[in-house]
């Protein structure tokens, strides 16, 4: 069964304390892997798309990487404004529509 699992479910960091979020996936064929940020009461906001193993994308303090079985979202020297839920989603090659979302990691960065 196709699925996406994110870990940890929740993470508390001190400001400046770097860490990584994990997204592991099981799909028949990967078309793309997406990272989104979701703030409370808002819709998910697009961060990155990764298409092939070895690919990396960066944006400010965030860096996303991809292997054949998982993706990591590295957060370097986080700030309180990085606090949010981070969602991972995969799109399969077998369908033109199907996105499978993980349940997210709730990140809290303490000042």
Q: Which residues bind another protein (CB under 8 A)?
A: 4, 31-32, 34, 36, 41-46, 49, 87, 89, 91, 96-99, 101-104
Q: How far is the CB of 16 from another protein (least distance, A)?
A: 30
CB nearer to another protein: pick between 50 and 78: 50
CB nearer to another protein: pick between 13 and 33: 33
In Å, how far are 49, 52, 72, 86, 109 from 18, measured between CA atoms?
A: 22, 25, 13, 15, 10
Contact 37, 48 (CB under 8 A): no
- Spatial CA neighbour of 6 closest among 99, 70, 76: 70
CB nearer to another protein: pick between 46 and 54: 46
Q: How far is the CB of 59 from another protein (least distance, A)?
A: 14
Q: How far is the CB of 82 from another protein (least distance, A)?
A: 19
Give residues with Cβ within 8 angstroms of 89, minimum separation 6: 4, 33, 34, 36, 99, 100, 101, 102
Q: How far is the CB of 70 from another protein (least distance, A)?
A: 17
């Amino acid at each position: 069964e196709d699925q996406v699992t994110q870990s940890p479910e929740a993470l508390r960091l001190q400001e400046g304390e770097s860490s990584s979020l994990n997204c592991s996936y099981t799909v028949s064929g990967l078309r793309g892997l997406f990272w989104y940020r979701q703030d409370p009461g808002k819709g998910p906001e697009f961060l990155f798309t990764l298409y092939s193993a070895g690919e990396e994308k960066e944006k400010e303090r965030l860096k996303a990487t991809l292997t054949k079985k998982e993706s990591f979202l590295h957060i370097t020297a986080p700030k309180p404004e990085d606090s949010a839920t981070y969602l991972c989603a995969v799109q399969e090659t077998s369908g033109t529509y199907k996105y499978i979302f993980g349940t997210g990691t709730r990140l809290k960065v303490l000042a």
